[in-house]
C-alpha cells in the first residue's frame, strides 16, 4: 500500500502541486470546481431575485449579495486557472454533479426561485450552510490560495445569514406562519441534502491519502 502523505494547512502553492501525488491535483481541482459552481449559482440566484422580488426595501441587499457572490465565484475560478483549468473546463467537470442532490438547492435558486419567500429560504439554506462549509473544510486547506480565498469569502459574506435571520420575522408578518413554515421545510430539506452530500465528498477526498487537506 502506498504511503499516505499529509500536508499542513496552507503549506502548498500552485507551483508545488505538479510535484506531488497526481491524486492531490485531481481532488483539489474537483473541490475548487464545486466551490466555484456553488458561488456562481448563488450569484445567478440573487440576480434572478432582482427580477422576481418586488419589495423595494430588499433591492439594495440583494444587489450587494449578488455582487459579492459573483466576485467570489471569479476568485475561485482564478485559482483554477492557476492550476491550468479554465472556467469552461472546470464547469464541464461539474456536469453530472450539478444534476445530483448536492446541487438541488443552488440549482433551484438559480433557475426556478420566485419572489421574496424563495429568496429568504435560499439565504437560509445556501448562505448559512455554505459559510459553515467554507469555514470548516476550506479555511484550513493545505492549498494556501484556497484557504486565503476562504478567509476573504467568510469575511465579506458574514452578514448574508444575518440578512435571512432578520427577514424571517418580517416574512411571518407579511405572508403568515403557515406559508413561511411550508417554504422553510421545503428549502431546509434541499439545504440539508446539499450539506450531507458535500460532507461525504469531503470525507472521500480525505480518504484518498489524507493529503488533500480539505
Would you state the pLDDT for residue 80? 98
pLDDT digits (tens, 9 = 90+) for 148-198: 999 999 998 878 767 766 777 788 888 898 888 887 777 666 554 333 333
Euclidean distance between the first and the last CA atom of the chain, given in angstroms as a whole number: 22
Confidence at 128, pLDDT banded by 50, 70, 90:
low
- In three-state secondary structure terms, 16 is helix
- Contact by Cβ (8 Å): 143, 12: yes
Which domains can be identified in the chain, with CATH numbers? 14-207 (1.20.1260.10)
Beta bridge partners of 12: 143
Beta bridge partners of 143: 12
* CA pair distance 179, 182, nearest whole angstrom: 5
In the chain, the largest separation of any two C-alpha atoms, in whole Å, equals 61
pLDDT digits (tens, 9 = 90+) for 22-67: 899 999 999 999 999 999 999 999 999 999 998 898 999 999 999 9
- pTM listed for this prediction: 0.82
Among 47, 214, 191, 39, which residue's Cα sits nearest to residue 128? 191
pLDDT digits (tens, 9 = 90+) for 73-121: 999 999 999 999 999 999 999 999 999 888 888 898 999 999 998 888 8
Amino acid at each position: 500500500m502506498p504511503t499516505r502523505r499529509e500536508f499542513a494547512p496552507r503549506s502548498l502553492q500552485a507551483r508545488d502541486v505538479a510535484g506531488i501525488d497526481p491524486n492531490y491535483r485531481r481532488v483539489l481541482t474537483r473541490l475548487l470546481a464545486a466551490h466555484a459552481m456553488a458561488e456562481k449559482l448563488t450569484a445567478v440566484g440573487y440576480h434572478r431575485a432582482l427580477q422576481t422580488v418586488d419589495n423595494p426595501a430588499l433591492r439594495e441587499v440583494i444587489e450587494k449579495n449578488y455582487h459579492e457572490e459573483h466576485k467570489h465565484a471569479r476568485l475561485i475560478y482564478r485559482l483554477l486557472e492557476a492550476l491550468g483549468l479554465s472556467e469552461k473546463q472546470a464547469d464541464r467537470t461539474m456536469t453530472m454533479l450539478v444534476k445530483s442532490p448536492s446541487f438541488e438547492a443552488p440549482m433551484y435558486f438559480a433557475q426556478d426561485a420566485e419572489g421574496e419567500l424563495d429568496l429568504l429560504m435560499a439565504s437560509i439554506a445556501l448562505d448559512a450552510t455554505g459559510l459553515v462549509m467554507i469555514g470548516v473544510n476550506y479555511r484550513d486547506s493545505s492549498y494556501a490560495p484556497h484557504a486565503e480565498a476562504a478567509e476573504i469569502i467568510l469575511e465579506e459574506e458574514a452578514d448574508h445569514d444575518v440578512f435571512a435571520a432578520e427577514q424571517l420575522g418580517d416574512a411571518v408578518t407579511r405572508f403568515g406562519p403557515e406559508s413561511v413554515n411550508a417554504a422553510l421545510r421545503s428549502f431546509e430539506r434541499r439545504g440539508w441534502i446539499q450539506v450531507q452530500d458535500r460532507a461525504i465528498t469531503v470525507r472521500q477526498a480525505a480518504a484518498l491519502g489524507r493529503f488533500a487537506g480539505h
